[in-house]
Amino acid sequence: MSRFCLFIYLLLFCGVLYKGLVVESLGVNWGTMATHKLPPKVVVQMLTDNGIKKVKLFDADQSTMSALAGTGVEVMVAIPNDQLSAMGSYDRAKEWVKRNITRYNFNGGVTIKYVAVGNEPFLTSYNNSFVNTTFPALQNIQNALNEAGVGDSIKATVPLNADVYGSPENNPVPSAGRFRTDISDQMSQIVKFLNQNKAPFTVNIYPFLSLYANENFPVDYAFFDGVSNPIVDNGISYSNVFDANFDTLVSALKALGYGDMTIIVGEVGWPTDGDKNANINYALRFYRGLLPRLAGNKGTPLRPGYIEVYLFGLIDEDAKSIAPGNFERHWGIFRYDGQPKFPMDLSGQQSDKYLVGAQNVNYLPTKWCMLRPDANDLSKLADNINYACTFSDCTALGFGSSCNGLDANGNASYAFNMYFQVQNQRDLTCNFQGLAMVTDKNISQGNCNFTIQIATSSSSRLAQVSLAFLTAITLLLL
């Protein structure tokens, strides 16, 4: 065989081997702020069906952990911000580790790799609420892990938002990166402690937010397919904000004397609704740039090579806070019902296939709630829409979103239906002072989906309980 043939042969052979594999460094965030959650077992099946081997959680929920047991999926469990102050007690931290970590440490248990201590606790919008409690919690958790004998394989880390560092306005280049001055003491303590314990630094980087926050941000710079005028820093040319942001962190760590510290990207992704820049085309473009880079272990100019990266997120979360923006409920690579939104190749080979969706999903009956065509007293309409949207997700109605083109009647029907579905289509939840009615006709319009919620075991249990309660009341009255 000539050398050229051998080369072709290897190329084809490796191509075959590679197909269907997931980039080794890739994980996903599994958030659960949804009114209707898919059963944990179904979600874990989605992970395994798609070959995803790393997952990052936002708590240590028992049903989630049980579903992950025995799968070999590597897990980052988390301590929410509101428990950080309690973890200031070493006894409490030991108890947490015992109940939520070592308990799963057996053959056929959960492969825990990291404990996330807090979630973006130094976000400026939190007004310093967690500045004094994060480091003591980190120390106590890692020390408790060490004392329990699992500290070599399980590391505590603090997922931080990229707003903990930056470059000065008069020198906005990655090499000038430093940690925020208001938290510089906390950051040096944390970084020193992580280094002592060989634990990674975890950062969440969002090119979408750079675009969202700044009208003048060059759109192409948020993606990975090149720009006409890259930022040049000490001879290094930066053509995307992800690399520039990551290297700003590398420089900030270097300034503290820890330029080689391992960095994990705890969250990165692109939302598909809720803003003019949040749509399926942009999400496709973003992931088509990101995934091949990860597959090729490209890294960044200051950190070439392997970087562990967790996509945000797995499934849409219709009950997530929208304080940062309406897009917050649309980060999923899967819709609320576990179905893929767009083609995506987790092996980074850019083949246009859809991921495997959730299996055996049960939906509520095929019924929608809509504004009555004959409604005439519209004076109460605004209040009723407002009520419906307060208790359900109307973020798709906003400017630049998938349902923004509806007329006033369409808006009302959309809001009524979202509320009706959140309420599991219960009787009387499609009334709105006589303005609404149930229909079995699909009232979706164009790009705007009027969805049917999924049936969850808890929703049917709730329905049963309320039914039992009503029956009891009726009996009492009789």
Ligand X SMILES: *[C@@H]1O[C@H](CO)[C@@H](O)[C@H](O)[C@H]1NC(C)=O
CB of 471 to ligand X, least distance (A): 31
Smallest distance, ligand X to C-beta of residue 383, A = 14
Among 33, 42, 131, 462, binds ligand X (CB under 6 A): 131
Q: Is 95 in the site for ligand X (CB under 6 A)?
A: yes
* Shortest Å, Cβ 406 to ligand X: 6
Nearer to ligand X, 51 or 324 (CB): 324
Cα 271 from Cα 313, distance rounded (Å) = 9
Out of 127, 214, 376, 379, the residue judged to bind ligand X by CB under 6 A:
127
Residue 386 lies near ligand X (rule: CB under 6 A): no
CB 118 within 8 A of CB 124: no
The one catalytic residue in 24, 95, 120, 215 is 120
**Nearest residue to 277 via CA among 228, 206, 339:** 206
User: 24 an active-site residue?
Assistant: no
Binding to ligand X by residue 99, rule CB under 6 A? yes
Q: Does 96 bind ligand X (CB under 6 A)?
A: yes
Residue from 411, 413, 429, 459 binding ligand X (CB under 6 A): 411
| C-beta of 397 vs 435, nearer to ligand X | 397
100 is an interface residue for ligand X by CB under 6 A = yes
The distance of closest approach from Cβ of residue 291 to ligand X in the complex, given in angstroms and rounded to an integer, is 20
Do residues 27 and 309 make contact, with C-beta atoms less than 8 angstroms apart?
A: yes
CB of 60 to ligand X, least distance (A): 4
Q: How many positions of this chain bind ligand X (CB under 6 A)?
A: 26
Alpha-carbon span 188 to 135, nearest angstrom? 10
Residues 32-61 that bind ligand X (CB under 6 A): 59-61
- Choose the catalytic residue: 74, 95, 169, 267: 267
Closest distance of CB 273 from ligand X, Å: 6
Cβ closer to ligand X: 129 or 184?
Answer: 129
Q: Count other Cβ atoms within 10 Å, centred on residue 242.
A: 24
Q: How many CB atoms lie within 10 A of CB 352?
A: 10
Identity of the residue, 123 or 319, whose beta carbon is nearer to ligand X in the bound complex? 123
Contact status: 444 vs ligand X (CB under 6 A)? yes
What is the length of the chain? 478
Q: Is 398 near ligand X (CB under 6 A)?
A: yes
267 is catalytic: yes
The residues annotated with a catalytic role in the active site are 120, 267
Would you tell me which residues interact with ligand X (CB under 6 A)? Answer: 59-61, 95-96, 99-100, 126-129, 131-132, 366, 397-398, 402, 406-408, 411, 442, 444, 447, 449, 452
